[in-house]
Structure 1
Amino acid sequence: MDQFIELFKHLINPQWIIDHGGLYLLLLIIFAETGLFVGFFLPGDSLLFIAGIYVEALSKSFYNIPFVVIMVMIALAGVLGNYVGFWFGRKSGPLLFNKKDTFFFKQKHLYQARDFYEKYGGGAIFLARFLPIIRTFAPIIAGVVQMERKRFMFFNIVSSFCWVFSMMLAGHYLDKAFPTLKEHLELIVIILIVITTLPVLIKLFFGKRKPSTS
């Protein structure tokens, strides 16, 4: 049990992922976090941001491939992850609404994603890519409601490339502008988590408030 807890701590630590897993683990994390419901707890935004900071080290560890190729590979991992979630939703998604809560699965996350999707329609696939937890379940919900495959893939591809490129380029160029950025990674991760999860928290606590009755 202690080993499992220790592994869990490592998997939510972007710095550990970059240092010990390199590009291989990074691709796996992005794939899982963007389409497998068991991956909702994994870091996404902060991992990409830090990957942008350490992209030179990632390049050296993987045949010195260019920065843009690394971003494309990660974006494709996100596309594939979302598609797997979409496929899973089409095949067995309706059963999830009757599934009991477990450590890795909470029905409230599924309902939050469904509400988000119903509110924003096809654009939810794009918007959800930038929101933790929601991005894990949005493609599954798209499959559950039988979204047209070509339409889903359009939003899936565009959103993945925009998400990956924006986060990694932000980390890369901010590191160039502020060389001491690496000394404050823990603070940066906390700030990113707060910024990206704030819309989810607002939706969770205030999105379903009942109107007052006079």
Structure 2
Amino acid sequence: MNPLSATSWLADLGAAGVFLVLFAETGLLIGFFLPGDSLLFTAGLFCTTSATAPVHLSLSLVLPAAAAGAVAGAQLGFLIGRRGGRPLLARTRNPHLHRGVERAEELLNRYGHAKAIVLARFIPILRTVLNPLAGILAVPARSFTIWQVLGGLLWTVGVTLAGYLLGTSIPGIDQYLLPIIAVIVVVSLLPMLLELRRNRERHRRVDR
């Protein structure tokens, strides 16, 4: 199995692969590299293939698996952060995670808990580090749970149904899976890239 390939997870494990990837990506720091967005979209596409296709999934299984993985993973990440996440983050040497922590802190400070928790669901790496960070910063558990569940449902159901609707409206679209996944990855990274650009512009103005 290729852990970076959405198709590989789905072909080998089906809906269980959806649960595992989203649980690890949102609940464990080591899961930040997993293909959350592309997995959801691809899973939606595979729900529209024929029963004889190499990979065929059931939407009635994929949607609850995705929602459960995202919600349970985020809650685990929050509990890890509350019970000692700062030392764990300090021991992590991956530069992508450290930049993610900085952006997550900025997101919480700029938008407040509710909006930041929901928005982070749609941004790779941020949806991994914001959950333990919310625990570290003592975000109220009730507030975190409400907004992470709402954000998790919007993300998982929305992206999966987008893939499903595209698959039902354009027959044979799964033949162009690789370029579609490439577009999804680029689009999912756009908010992060825009935020980096804004930060650089702010730093330049401060330096002047």
Give the TM-score, by structure 1 length. 0.85
How far, CA to CA, are the matches of 2:11 and 2:35 in structure 1? 15
Gaps of 5+ in 1: 1-6
* 1:41 is the counterpart of 2:33: yes
> Residues 65, 109 of structure 1: CA spacing in aligned structure 2 closer, same or farther, 3 A cutoff?
closer
Task: Give per-residue Cα distances to partners, 1:102-152, cap 9 Å, x unaligned.
Answer: 48x732222222222221111111010011111011111110110111110
How far, CA to CA, are the matches of 2:129 and 2:90 in structure 1? 15
Q: Secondary structure at the match of 2:195?
A: helix
Alignment of 1:107-118 (within 5 A): 107-118=98-109
Alignment of 1:59-70 (within 5 A): 67-70=59-62
Task: Name whichever of 130-139 and 203-212 sits farther off.
Answer: 203-212
**Retained in 1: the 8 A contact 2:48–2:167?**
no
**1:12 alignment partner AA:** L
Paired-residue identity, %: 29
2:167 to 151, 171, 175: 175
Alignment of 1:129-144 (within 5 A): 129-144=121-136
Q: Which runs of 4+ in 1 moved over 2 A?
A: 64-70, 96-100
**Retained in 1: the 8 A contact 2:15–2:57?**
no
* 1:166 is the counterpart of 2:166: no
Q: CA RMSD in A?
A: 2.5
Task: Give per-residue Cα distances to partners, 1:147-173, cap 9 Å, x unaligned.
Answer: 111110100111111111111111111
**2:121 alignment partner AA:** R
Structure 2 counterpart of 1:4 = none
Structure 1 counterpart of 2:141 = 149
* 1:25 is the counterpart of 2:17: yes
> Residues 139, 193 of structure 1: CA spacing in aligned structure 2 closer, same or farther, 3 A cutoff?
same
Q: Secondary structure at the match of 1:130?
A: coil
Task: Name whichever of 107-116 and 31-40 sits farther off.
Answer: 107-116
1:120 to 103, 106, 111: 111
Question: How many correspondences in the alignment?
Answer: 202
Structure 2 counterpart of 1:53 = 45
**2:194 alignment partner AA:** I
Structure 2 counterpart of 1:192 = 184
How far, CA to CA, are the matches of 2:188 and 2:181 in structure 1? 11
Structure 1 counterpart of 2:64 = 72
How far, CA to CA, are the matches of 1:165 and 1:132 in structure 2? 17
**1:82 alignment partner AA:** A
Give the TM-score, by structure 2 length. 0.87
